[in-house]
Structure 1
């Protein structure tokens, strides 16, 4: 049986949170293939495994159908990768690209773990509003968020 752990991380703080999580993850002897799905691969990233760049779903300059189209085309690579595995676990630390990747993971029978960004205290992130209903496990890093995400689990900060 082949297992895949797919990490979804975007730019900035989302990627910093992924790096902290990944440092703990690599210290465990896990028999699986690792995949990093990101909007743009960060130079010098210490990830051991395949990486797929899917581009931004919502660029900083604003939404455009062109960026959405390019993102969806690149998600075909993600779907092809998911199709190769019997078990998929997707771990997301944020951005909008996590939505499409989580949906694909669910289509292929995978489990989704989402960690809401550490920069949120009193309101939901764009991604969190939707992925809360897709995720098998939804973690918050600030206890204040438990009031607006009642099924979430408090994990503390990464």
Structure 2
């Protein structure tokens, strides 16, 4: 029986980190089955069989739109409930973007035992919005720059992915 893991990421560096970690984990255990949740259409790939796309929770370069935020958030919650019930994941691993927030909250409520968050590797002196929000819902919280260990009390240094 395969072990399901939810992998949550956005575009760019978040995607690259997620793919590197996934390949490392699959080389150790080929029975791992990754279910991908991403907030960008460009991540569709023939090599990834279980990929689900949701609307971005917020757009960095646009002004805040409360209606769009609530709509995206509720759709992410609904999708996460469906995926947790369908795949019964043993863990959720998140990489930075706002989409991690509703996914981590739902996974905690629905009893996903391991909730692992990686703070963005470009952070050195400040917390990200996603890091602040996901920290209370995480069972493991990793930083990729040692300077962030001072900001997150329970964080572990993972090095760069």
Q: Same fold (TM over 0.5)?
A: yes
| Cα separation, partners in 2 of 1:74 and 1:152, compared to 1, 3 Å | closer
2:95 alignment partner in structure 1:
93
| Cα separation, partners in 2 of 1:47 and 1:7, compared to 1, 3 Å | farther
1:14 alignment partner in structure 2:
14
1:156 alignment partner in structure 2:
159
Offset at residue 45 of structure 1 (A): 4.0
For residue 147 of structure 2, the aligned residue among 144, 149, 154 is 144
1:34 alignment partner in structure 2:
34
What are the Cα deviations for residues 82-139 of structure 1, in whole angstroms up to 9, with x where unaligned?
Answer: 0124443000111111000001111111121001110000110111112111100000
Contact 1:3 1:85 in 2 (8 A): no
- Structure 1 distance, partners of 2:26, 2:32, is 11
Q: CA RMSD in A?
A: 2.0
- Structure 1 distance, partners of 2:45, 2:115, is 23
Q: Are residue 51 (structure 1) and residue 64 (structure 2) matched?
A: no
1:64 alignment partner in structure 2:
65
Contact 2:38 2:51 in 1 (8 A): yes
Listed as ranges, the gaps of 5+ residues in structure 1 are none
| Cα separation, partners in 2 of 1:76 and 1:47, compared to 1, 3 Å | farther
For residue 129 of structure 2, the aligned residue among 126, 130, 137 is 126
* Structure 2 length-normalised TM: 0.87
In the alignment of these two chains, the number of paired residues is 158
Alignment of 1:99-110 (within 5 A): 99-110=101-112
Greater Cα offset, 59-68 or 139-148 = 59-68
The SS at the match of 1:36 is: strand
- Structure 1 distance, partners of 2:47, 2:130, is 24
- Structure 1 distance, partners of 2:54, 2:16, is 18
- Structure 2 distance, partners of 1:23, 1:50, is 15
